[in-house]
Structure 1
Amino acid sequence: MAKPGKKKKVLFVLEIVVLLLFIGGLYVYGQISSRLDKIQQPELKRETIPVNPEAPKMTGYKTYVLFGIDTRGEGSDLSAQNSDTMIIVSVNNDTGEVRMVSVYRDTFLDIGNGTYTKANAAYAYGGPEQAIAMLNTNLDLDISDYATADFSALTEVVDDLGGLDIPLSYAEIEHMNNYCQETSKVTGKSYTPVEKPEPKPEDEEAIVDTYHLNGVQVTSYCRIRYTASMDMGRTERQRKVLGMLFDKAKIAGLSSIFKIMDDVFPMVQTSLSKQDILGLIPTVIGYDFSDSTGFPAKYKFSNIKGSIIVPTDLASNVTELHKFLYNDQDYTPSSEVLEKSNKILEIVGGEGKLDEAATSTTQDDTTNTDDNTFVWSGNSSSTDNSYYDNNSGSTDYDNGGGTDYDYGGSSDYDNGGGSDYDNGGDSDYDNGGGSDYDNDSGSDYDNGGGDDGGFSDGAAESGNDDNEE
């Protein structure tokens, strides 16, 4: 039988341990709380964000969206950029299972008020409110919270966690090295090019080895769209990297976590309050990234004006989306989704007018926002399917022959001068001379560096591949 004095000593030691843990917890809480003040938390006008009345209420889940923005360096305005990365995150509150879905940036959707264009343009037009509204109304979702960051934030996180080991193909090495030049310039961080294996493999898309990459390299890896998988491969890389970073962060020391907060939080904008984030921290440790995919799952391509991804059809794709995000086997698309689904196919001329493959896999399919925008006028007095430019009149884009938005003839978007959007010069908005949107430097929207890989000095354009994450 233990002596009374020994029991008191044991209890005293336990009390000291508990007290130290409590003080340590308060210290960590205080350190995290003070760093959360560095995050940009603009007011999100939730009352302006619609949800389809017939959309299901997914109890037991929380849905967020992550936006990736190319701010083109210091001093740029986040709200003026396209969200070239859009990742819907579904969290099962009971199991901690996390699923991610990337919405392809060139997906042809209604971004608001019957304006059909590439999905990434919604953020440029109306910030996070309009981008979330687009996702809610096209996909029958109920998203109320978001986080936005540019690729400089990704570079910082990767470096603060000591880099990542990523398997690469020959094609990925080649294009990643090319992107690293721009990424390094914008972020101010260095890198060492990955040496390409010799001889060049017959299958350039096959994995050749696993490489330890730093922040500049991982960010550049996440931007690749040149490979055969195009944007689908790009978004898959992004989701893979997010999962790897999450797993690595969960086992990182406090010093690493605090450094990430110091370096990255000033680059992040979110609708979550400080209390929301603090409340999430204990549960995030138990989260598990179980699966991810891209949206739409079934698609074809069109070249209305610049290559777009067309869901075939939207309703069936949204059905599959709900099965994946929420395991909802009984979901039925709302009338709003059905209407948009029909409208999309009508605008592109029907599924029979679509292509199985994109006409080009190049990085820089530069197109102007207005040239890529279609406004549906349901109350047109002349016809039930009149498209018009809401900046001018009801007959814009009309070549006078009644063939507005004709996809089969030689006069699409023709103003009668023999070259689409030609103002009399050799290259202005000419889609036939190989120099579309040329700024006279020999490369489309090039900032003078001769590299068409991105970071042009222009403003945000819908579907502009220079403006990408």
Structure 2
Amino acid sequence: MKNKNVKKTHKKIIIIPIVILIILAIVGGGTFFFINSKLSKVNGVNISKKPSDLGINSQNFDDTSIDKNYTNILLLGVDSRDPKVDPGLTDSIMILSIDKAHKKVKLTSLMRDMLIDNIQGEGATAGTNKDRINVIYKQGGGGQAGGQYAIKAINSNFDMNIKDYIKVDFGDFDKIVDAVGGVDIDISEDEVKVANNYIKEVAGLEGISNPPYLTHGGLQHLNGIQALGYCRIRYVGAEDFQRTERQRTVLTAVFKKLSTLGITEASSMLDTILPNIETSLSSTDMLSDASYVILNKINTIDQFRLPEDKPGYNYSTYINGTYFLGWNKAANNADLHKFIFETDANKIK
């Protein structure tokens, strides 16, 4: 992948809405009243469940075992300076898959520069039905309309059957990492300097006078601000390709640490996270999905990313002089289905 001369932007990384499902399962040992008191903090919204409204091709998903065994949820990490005025760009887009057929949890990252169809073009793509994937929540107007619009865009472009979404404006990511006691990450020497620049920025925003800068590369224990700085690295290695990998690495580390939390720690984290959650999932659905993960002792996350690095699977494309990430839809989607549905991928027509 060639390097592009892209204007650098400083954005918060919003990467782990999956934790809400896991935390809910952890506190599941508490009383029903306690769990529901926590869930009441979530910003629940209602969206249409009609396949046509969600961009689901019903003819492709006419096997009932698919819906029974595979739950796919769209995770949106949105960066907005002022959500009341601007819904913000969706800089972290993932598909969370709970695979009951194979007892797995899977996470697929979608690159934010991907050029997708069936949406309204803006700026360089004005007058077309194409644009970057990261406009999908904003174009819908934010809120439940933005969430439904985003689901429809993803389903229609990736031939998926997603019915729900979780959206987070996640400025408290560093606090979540701190709440689980930090994470162990292997950082390269090249990544250290760039991570420190982001650590400095976050520290300034949070009024921290002595930022905890990284001093060396290698496997080390990161606190919240350090982990956030690491996740924000974009211009080291394979740019956004490797950036999404860093996000998944930290997410997976947090996932593992969550299983060790006690009820007090989990409760405190819920109070921090839940008010920032917007989701179309019902309380029953959240508890059911999270409980499945815990009861089946699933403590790892299988990871995937689109577009793939294989020759011909992605390419640079320019519209009116503006860079977009092109991708071979048929080839990438075929591999996406194999990753998510495995042996049942042939049931999708």
Q: Secondary structure at the match of 2:160?
A: coil
Structure 1's 116 and 332: CA in aligned 2 closer, same or farther, altered over 3 A? Answer: farther
CA 170–179 in structure 1, closer or farther in 2 if over 3 Å, else same: same
Normalised to the residue count of structure 1, the TM-score between the two structures is: 0.59
- Whether 1:211 and 2:220 are equivalent positions in the alignment is yes
Report the equivalent of 2:242.
233
1:103 is the counterpart of 2:110: yes
- Tell me, yes or no, if the aligned pair for 1:96 and 1:288 is still in contact at 8 Å: no
Matched, 1:133 2:152: yes
What is the letter of the counterpart of residue 178 of structure 2? D
Work out whether 1:287 is the aligned partner of 2:303.
no
Where in structure 2 are the equivalents of 1:6-405 lying within 5 Å?
A: 27-47=30-50, 48-56=53-61, 57=63, 58-59=66-67, 60-72=69-81, 75-77=82-84, 80-112=87-119, 115-126=129-140, 127-186=146-205, 192-197=211-216, 208-285=217-294, 286-297=297-308, 298-304=313-319, 305-311=321-327, 313-328=328-343, 331=346
Residue 171 of structure 2: SS of its match in structure 1?
helix
Between the two proteins, what is the percent identity of the paired residues? Answer: 30
Deviates more, 1:187-196 or 1:285-294: 187-196
Q: CA deviation at 1:68?
A: 0.8
One-letter amino acid matched to 1:39: V
Q: Which has the higher helix share?
A: 2
Whole-angstrom distance in 2 between the partners of 1:164 and 1:26:
25
Q: 2:119–2:131: 8 Å Cα contact kept in structure 1?
A: no
Letter in 2 for 1:322: H
Distance in 2 (CA, whole Å) between partners of 1:111 and 1:231 is 23
C-alpha distance 330-251 of structure 1, shift in aligned 2 (>3 A)? closer
Query: For the structure 1 residues 120 and 26, does the alpha-carbon distance in structure 2 shift closer, same or farther, using more than 3 Å as the test?
Result: closer
Whether the aligned pair in 1 keeps the contact of 2:173 and 2:228 (CA below 8 Å) is yes
- Whether the 8 Å contact between 1:169 and 1:209 is mirrored in structure 2 is yes
Kept after mapping to 1: 8 A contact 2:80/2:86:
no
Quickly say closer, same or farther: Cα 1:26–1:239, change in 2 above 3 A: closer
Larger mean CA deviation between 57-66 and 261-270 belongs to 57-66
- Aligned partners of 1:50 and 1:137 also within 8 Å: yes
Structure 1 residue ranges without an equivalent (≥5): 1-23, 198-207, 335-469
How many angstroms does 1:147 deviate by? 0.9
Of residues 126-135 and 106-115 in structure 1, the stretch that sits farther from structure 2 once superposed is 106-115
* Aligned counterparts of 1:315 and 1:173: Cα–Cα separation in 2: 38
Q: If you compute each CA radius of gyration, which structure gives the higher value, 1 or 2? A: 1
Change (3 A) 1:225 1:180: same
What is the CA distance between 1:331 and its match in structure 2? 4.0
Higher relative contact order (CA 8 A, sep 6+): 2
Contact 2:116–2:157 (8 Å) recurs in 1: yes
Letter matched to residue 92 of structure 2: T
CA RMSD of aligned residues (A): 2.5
The answer to whether the Cα contact below 8 Å between 2:184 and 2:253 also exists between their aligned partners in 1 is: no
Unpaired runs of 5+ in structure 2?
1-26, 121-127, 141-145
* Cα distance between partner residues in 1 of 2:197 and 2:322: 24
Runs of 4+ in structure 1 displaced over 6 angstroms? none
Structure 1 residue 326: Cα displacement: 1.0
How big is the shift at 1:133?
A: 0.7
User: In the aligned structure 2, how far is the partner of 1:189 from the partner of 1:294?
Assistant: 35
Instruction: Measure, in 1, the Cα distance between the counterparts of 2:152 and 2:208.
Output: 36
TM-score, with structure 2 as normaliser: 0.78
Separation (CA, whole Å) in 2 of partners of 1:224 and 1:191 = 21
Contact map agreement 1:90 1:100 (CA 8 A) in 2: yes
- Aligned to 1:52, the other structure's residue is in SS state coil
Cα separation, 2, equivalents of 1:220 and 1:35: 30
Contact 1:97 1:287 in 2 (8 A): yes
CA distance in 2, matches of 1:190, 1:90: 41
1:150-178 per-position Cα deviation (integer Å, ceiling 9, x unaligned): 23232221111111121111222111111
Would you say the 8 A contact 1:190–1:216 is kept in 2?
Answer: no
Give 3-state SS (helix, strand or coil) of 2:252's partner.
Answer: helix
